[in-house]
Amino acid sequence: MITCANPTAQFQSHRAEIEEAIRKVLEKGRYILGPELEALESEFAEYIGTGHAIGVANGTDALELALRALGIGPGDEVITVSHTAVATVAAIEAAGAIPVLVDVEADFHTLAVAQLSEVLSPRTRAVIAVHLYGQPADMDAIVAFCRDQKLALVEDVSQAHGARWRGQRLGSLGDIACFSCYPTKNLGAIGDAGLITTDDAGLAAKVRMLREYGWRERYISDFAGRNSRLDELQAAILRVKLRHLDEDNAKRHAHAARYTEGLAGLGFYLPTVRQSAEHVYHLYVIRSSERDLLIEHLKKSGVQAGIHYPVPIHLQPAYKGRVRTAISMHRTEALSNEIASLPLYPELEADKLEKVAAALKSFACDLKVRDR
């Protein structure tokens, strides 16, 4: 089976460096908040182009702690999209705030800026811009809206490590930014991990305290925090993978280009790249009105396709009736029935990529025969 993602293949491609990094951590005997994390934070901040980076336990924690560092809590509203990983909305609620969800744009599947003013209220404190599938959201418009309305801007860069907007790395455009380093991400750990970036020294200091019980001085909590520390093993692994991130993203881009060329004219909706944006193809997502039949066809052909995401947040049992939304969510609701994520990762071999494309071509041919 050709899988949608393959973190084991990435481990194998960097195996010698990763095993050496792990060995050094084990021999040094410092496992929490040590030199590997300090080095990762410095290197990641330099890579993104911010003054500060802070390692935390996972991407969901990164979002929650970022909101809490901004002073956002009970009674406050945070605007984001319904077409995202549930973690984005779960983090808003974990901070005590109220999620307010908008639709996505037709072409790029990122936040519909035109709806921001529709859902704005006196309780709105922040916008979370989700850079979905590796594609930057419309940061010019979102930044302008947040400045005009005096709102905090949080970037959710969990699917877009290394992507750029007008030449600037995502994660350096908002007040604070959050990254998941789940194993399948473009920058993935071998376990859970997360990172936060910001240029604001005060926010960075607050996040560092929040991730460890609100401590400024050990065992003395200045305010209520929690335990969300990124361990030394994961930090060491991420340092190795960070050195290869641009190279691996270039491979993703090359694979995506081959898909785009090979699938042109077959009747699928293929990814569209926003002008002034650099897409890093965490996922290569196509659309088909016969999505369920397509996925079954691919499965029979030995290809695993994913669905990111099958049910919009506002329609999920845990959130239905509990979140406020824009009047129209029709694009998000349509997408959930049409999208399929094709196998794409840096180590995907050319013959496997061609096998995926061939399976899609045979499906398109079958549809034409059936519709005659």
Give the whole-angstrom CA distance, residue 70 versus residue 153.
10
Question: What CA–CA distance (Å, rounded) separates 35 from 257?
Answer: 39
How many C-beta atoms surround the C-beta of residue 142 within 10 A? 24
Q: Would you give the distance in Å from CA 163 to the centre of its chain?
A: 11
Return the pLDDT at 343. Answer: 98
d(CA 189, CA 186): 10
Task: Report pLDDT for 364.
Answer: 93
Q: How is domain 7-243 classified at the CATH fold level? A: Aspartate Aminotransferase; domain 2 (3.40.640)
Query: Domain 245-371, what fold?
Result: Aspartate Aminotransferase, domain 1 (3.90.1150)
Q: Which residues of 33-64 are buried (b: 16+ CB within 10 A; e: fewer)?
A: bbebbeebbeebbebbebebbbbbbbbbbbbb
Token code pair at residue 57: 């336990």
Give the DSSP letter of residue 274.
P
Is residue 232 within 8 A of residue 32, CB to CB? The reply is: yes
| Same topology between domain 7-243 and domain 245-371 | no
Q: Which of 117, 140, 118 is nearest to 129 (CA)?
A: 140
| Tens-digit pLDDT string for the chain (372 aa) | 999 999 999 999 999 999 999 999 999 999 999 999 999 999 999 999 999 999 999 999 999 999 999 999 999 999 999 999 999 999 999 999 999 999 999 999 999 999 999 999 999 999 999 999 999 999 999 999 999 999 999 999 999 999 999 999 999 999 999 999 999 999 999 999 999 999 999 999 999 999 999 999 999 999 999 999 999 999 999 999 999 999 999 999 999 999 999 999 999 999 999 999 999 999 999 999 999 999 999 999 999 999 999 999 999 999 988 899 999 999 999 999 999 999 999 999 999 999 999 999 999 987 765 665
Give residue 367's pLDDT.
Answer: 75
Q: List, in sequence order, the alpha helices (H) in the chain.
A: 7-13, 15-28, 35-48, 59-69, 86-94, 116-119, 139-149, 201-210, 232-243, 245-263, 291-300, 330-335, 350-371
Closest CA to 211 of 345, 32, 9, 8: 32
Q: What is the pTM of this model?
A: 0.97
pLDDT of residue 369: 59
The Cα–Cα gap between 117 and 9 comes to: 44
Q: Where along the chain do its domains lie?
A: 7-243, 245-371
Judging by DSSP bridges, how do beta strands 164-165 and 152-156 pair with one another? unpaired
303 touches 2 (CB < 8 A): yes
| Cβ atoms 62, 204 nearer than 8 A | no
Q: What is the pLDDT of residue 370?
A: 65
Q: Of 247, 70, 49, 77, which is closest to residue 165 (Cα–Cα)?
A: 49
Please tell me the predicted confidence (pLDDT) of residue 366: 75
